[in-house]
Every structure is written in C-alpha cells, then in structure tokens.
Amino acid sequence: MAISDVREFAHLTEADVDAIGRELDAIRADVEDRRGQVDADYIRSLITWQRRLNVAARVTLFGSRIPPIWAAGTAMLAVAKILENMEIGHNVMHGQWDWMNDPEIHSATWEWDNVCPADQWQHSHNYLHHTYTNVIGRDKDVGYEILRVRADQPWHPVYLGQPVWNVALMLLFEHGVSLHDLDVDGLLKLHVEDPAEFRRKLAEVGRKHARQMRKDYLLFPALTGPAFVSTLTANAVANVIRNVWSYAIIFCGHFPDGAEVFTEDELDGETRGEWYLRQLLGSANFGGNRLMHVMSGSLGYQIEHHLFPDLPSNRYPEIAVKVRALCEKYDLPYTTGPFPRQIWQATRSIWRLSLPARSIRAREHERERRGLLRRRRRAAAA
C-alpha cells in the first residue's frame, strides 16, 4: 500500500532522517570534489566507441541482403542505439557531464536518437519523475498512464487488457515515452488543461517522429540501394530490440517487489532527508557485470541514480558501496536482485493488477501485515 509518512514507515526518528540526509549530502560532495579527467575520458571514450559502432553497422548493412550480414549489422545497430539512449543520452541529459562545460556533451544541447524530444523527456523524467518519484498522482512513470501497477490505483475494466497493453508498450517503448510529457489523461477525459501547450508539444513530437522515421526508414535504406528493403527491416528490428531492452531495464528499477509507492501526503513539508529516503525506498537495483551496467545506462544502480541523478554514472559502483553501508547502519531495505527475477516480479505484478481489486486485496493486506510485524520487531530490537 502507498506510504503517506516515509519516516514512520522506515521506523526512524526525525534526527535519524536528518542524519541520513547529511551523510548522503557528504557522499555527493565527495564525488563532486573528485570529478575530473577520469570521468571526462570515460564519457568521451564511450561516445567515440558508440559512434564507431554505429558507422560499422551502417556500412555492414550495405550487404544486408545476405542473411548473416543482415544479422550482424542489425545486432551492431541495436547495441549502438542502446548505448546512445541509455549510458550516453539518458545520463548526459540528466546533466551528469555539464560540469565539463563541453557544449557537445551537455544537457542543454544533447538530442538523442529517439522519437521523444529531449526537452520534453527532461521535463517528464528529470523533473516530474525524479522530483515526485513513485508518488501516485504526481509521477507519470507510475504505470505510464496506461498500466495499473499498484493496488492503490482504482481498478477499471479496461485494465483487464493491460497484459496486452504492456507488450505493446514494450515493443513501442520510445513512442510511448514520446507521449509522456503530453496531457494524455486530460485528452482522454476531453479536458486538456492547456490546449495551446498541448498542441505545441504534440507538434514537436510530430517533427521528431518525422526526422527519426526519415533517417531510419528512408535515408539510410536508400543509401544502400538494392538493399533498401533489407536495411529498412534491419533498422526496424534494431529499434524494437532497443525498445524492449530499455523497457526491461526501466521496469526492473521501479516495479519489482520492494519498490514502494507514496501518497501526495508525503510531499507536505518533505525535508531533504525525507526526499532521499523516498528515493531509496522507491527504487530497486539489479546485479550484473560492468558490461551489463554500461548497456543498461548504469540503471542497475537505480537506487544510486535516484539519490544522485546528476552525478557521473561511472561513479555509481563506488557510491553503491557507501549507500548500502548506510542502509545497514539504519536498518533500511536495499532492494536488489538478479535481473531475471526483477523483471519477472514487475511483469507478474502487471498481470496480477489487471484483475479487480477484491481478487488481490487479501494478498495486499497480508503484505502490509508482514511489513508491520517486521517494523515492530525492529523497533523492539532497538
């Protein structure tokens, strides 16, 4: 169930929460003081390798009428798109590299290989999602306005089809994200809050869609001449692979068991320490080697990313050690697990919550009861 008082839920005193805030501020300050050439070299090197891979994929697809070459070109292009969207574009647009003062690698100038306009993504993601993380009614990432992902959300018969909507969202994820900053809910209710702003943003989305479609489905296929059709299919498959991967990574960080949600009451008078605590409780990590984390945009460290979204992503592994120690110190949950388990838990919840509330109420009450018992045992032990 949604949490209305994060401090009470975490069995912490006001002094504890303030101390957690100071310790996390100290972690931030330490990383900011040590940012330098190593971090700059990391992002510049990654951008160089991604661009080389993209060019290699495009050149390979000149021979895409031969199936093995088609497969190789498609795979390289998919990896290049994933790297650009996840570890590069996502993190650059968060401002993680703004301190370099490089106009080519800056949140104000980066436009990613995606149909969602960068400025709209930054508003819906950087501002709405990262400010109001998992607050029902404020964070559009809670269900992406089409899925019921928490029992607190009112049930409607339309949710019976959400296993199907979920697959559609996965396959067309970049297109779903491109509509994320629009007042879609208002449009469906025939009451758009700001019609002029809605039209302006919709026009921007249309222009970005047109540019991406021309690039992937007209320009690059045309350059390969006789291989036009096979190159076009390779581009389409690479985009779908990127969409499915991005969906899986993002859902693993927000919807598995242990990632909590909050009511708007939690925002009243929220302190810096309580904001940190909400980020920690509302996010989930998954394990993997360094390659896995680079391919996932370092979102296997989703907890650390939500605590410090504008710190360089290559610093998350060292930050995670300190955050985990802090959680142990204050007996706080640090939700993490293998990637397959996290995506299964998120998918299972989406299937289960497509059903009427009464069919899941008993299980939700049992979960709440167990959580209350755990908190009582911790309080007694203290």
Q: Mean per-residue pLDDT for 128-148?
A: 86
In the chain, pLDDT over 90 holds for what percent of residues?
73
Confidence of residue 143 (pLDDT cuts 50, 70, 90): confident
* Distance from C-alpha of 12 to C-alpha of 218, rounded to nearest angstrom: 58
297 occurs within a structural domain: yes
Residue 139's pLDDT is what? Answer: 87
The arithmetic mean of pLDDT across residues 30-57, rounded, is 98
361 inside domain? no
Model confidence pLDDT, tens digit, residues 69-114: 999 999 999 999 999 999 999 999 999 999 999 999 999 999 999 9
34-38, 123-127, 193-197 — which is least confidently predicted?
A: 193-197
CA dist., res. 140 & res. 120, Å (int): 13
Q: Give the tens place of pLDDT for each residue, 165-197.
A: 999 999 999 998 898 888 666 555 556 677 888
Q: Is residue 11 part of a domain?
A: yes
- pLDDT (0 to 100) of residue 5: 84
* 1 pLDDT tier (thresholds 50, 70, 90): low
Is 13 within the bounds of a domain?
A: yes
pLDDT of residue 376: 46
**Percentage of the chain modeled with pLDDT above 70:** 90
pLDDT number for residue 319: 98
Domain presence at residue 351? no
Query: Do the Cβ atoms of 182 and 202 come closer than 8 Å?
Result: yes
Distance CA 11, CA 372 (A): 10
CB 78 within 8 A of CB 137: no
CA angle 359, 8, 279 (to 5 degrees): 80
Q: Does the pLDDT at position 21 exceed 70?
A: yes
Q: Tell me the mean pLDDT in the region 285-293.
A: 95
Q: Domain range holding 155?
A: 6-326
Flag whether 342 is in a domain: no
State the pLDDT at residue 146: 83
DSSP string for residues in 294-333: HHTTTGGGHHHHHH-TTS-GGGHHHHHHHHHHHHHHTT--
Does 172 reside within a domain? yes
Residue whose structure tokens are 């899925």? 147
Question: For 326-381, what is each residue's pLDDT tens digit?
Answer: 999 999 999 999 999 999 999 999 999 999 865 545 455 445 544 544 554 455 55
**Cα(362)–Cα(382) distance, integer angstroms:** 30
Angle at 72 between CA 67 and CA 76, to 5 degrees: 145
Considering only residues 107 and 266, tell me which one the structure prediction assigns the higher pLDDT.
Answer: 107
- Output the CA torsion sign for 276, 280, 283, 288: positive
Cβ contacts of residue 121 below 8 Å, gap of 6+?
A: 93, 112, 114, 177, 180, 181
Domain count, the chain: 1
Span 204-258, pLDDT tens digits: 999 999 999 999 999 999 999 999 999 999 999 999 999 999 999 999 999 899 8
Hey, is 8 helix, strand or coil?
helix
**What pLDDT score was predicted for residue 336?**
95
For residues 304 and 288, give the distance between their C-alpha atoms in angstroms, rounded to a whole number.
Answer: 15
pLDDT digits (tens, 9 = 90+) for 63-72: 999 999 999 9
310 within a domain of the structure (yes/no): yes
**pLDDT score, position 142:** 83
Task: Report pLDDT for 347.
Answer: 94
| pLDDT in the model for residue 205 | 94
